[in-house]
Structure 1
Amino acid sequence: MNRSFRRARHMRVVATAIMLATAATQGRSDHQQGAVPIGDAEAGAAVFAEDCAACHQIGKGATYQVGPQLTGIFDRPAGAIEGFDYSPALQRMGADGLIWQLETLDAFLANPVAMVSDTAMIFDGIADAPRRQDLLAFLRAHSAQPGDIPESAPTAKAILFELPPETAALVGDPEYGEYLAQECATCHQGDGSAEGIPAITGWPAHDFMAAMHAYKVKLRPHPVMQMMAGRLDDEQIAALAAYYEQIGE
């Protein structure tokens, strides 16, 4: 298969969007002045009550119920609450080095599968950026010494994670994806089996693309996957997404 193959296949554009907008806050963290404002923590309490409280507790005396307690979530490794039965996917991301910081929490709240594939959470995410900012402010208010958290000020990485609409709407050619998948097959099994390596067959294309772009901008931790994603352009990621979605049907 020669290099002209990609140019011989066309990409189709469909009305599919991956809502991964990120907080667009400005400023820097200052230990003397406290944490840089994200949003309105009081408004964030209402967002928490509406979107989170059915499964999570927060504040003094909080414990886990359906989900883990979220007191002190900032700067906590994923899957770190002792005694809570986390999903294998979240345990795996914790083992990979995922830390809940401003950027990673924002991306997760926007689209959970972008950060944790096969998450057990019944939560589609919060597409509205101001609501997420308010929720993040509320969560940070329940973290110890929030002004000392280095991630109080967002970096360019958070801004870069917002996918351009034309990228989010790409649908790749599965035949080209099959060609590209030869390299993926050195680790991932085409039959969907998973022995230490997560299965990626049957993964919805938009979820696959979200995760790969999160690796690409180094929000999802895993040096090998970051390197692999960094070598792929948007069309190649879309082609792989189309292929792996198709072979899982």
Structure 2
Amino acid sequence: MAPLAAQETDDALAGGDAERGAELFQECSGCHQIGPGATNRIGPHLNEIFDRQAGSISGYAYSKSMQRMGDDGLVWAYRNLDAYLENPRALVSRTRMSYRGMEDATDRSDVLAFLRAYSAKPSDIPESPPTASDAGHDLDPAILALDGDPEYGEYLSGECITCHSPQGADTGIPSITLWPEDDFVIALHAYKEQLRPHPAMQMVAARLSNEEIAALAAYFASLTPD
């Protein structure tokens, strides 16, 4: 099977359930770590796996086959990861990974949605447009009327700014600095209700209360870009 290009997009692959993926990942956790403090174990850590060149983590002893595939241009785009999860040896013939593969496409989609949450800039999972209009939404007016506390929003913003630049830079991930507060609130609630398709954002928004979303909206609206 030939490696697929890193920028190749397939919308059908973008709808995984990250929470279910976290449960399925337990099958992988004996060899791989992910999240804060993750290190290489039997397998390499999986932080920032999306769009990473295969065989490229410094200090990890990859198989010669994996190193060769990386040197030949294999990048862990979504569709390549999906193919590798389905049948590791079909993509990398002499990989050391003993896992036989995950046949079910829904299971793979869910696992990849979970992994996606720990990668900052995967290029080939479609995102919704970076702004939201208040036209046509059915959000409770009482939610829009909440007065957000920007200081509390700054406290909460740590997870946001791991991907979104507070200086307003757009480096592949949309800037959310100086968004109108109503637009910010509408967008976050759309992710929370899974009306906007982005697994990582859906997972983040699901953990936020109405007051926390209002606070984040107030904070990012108050920033001055460089």
> Could you tell me the TM-score, scaled by structure 2's length?
0.50
Higher relative contact order (CA 8 A, sep 6+): 1
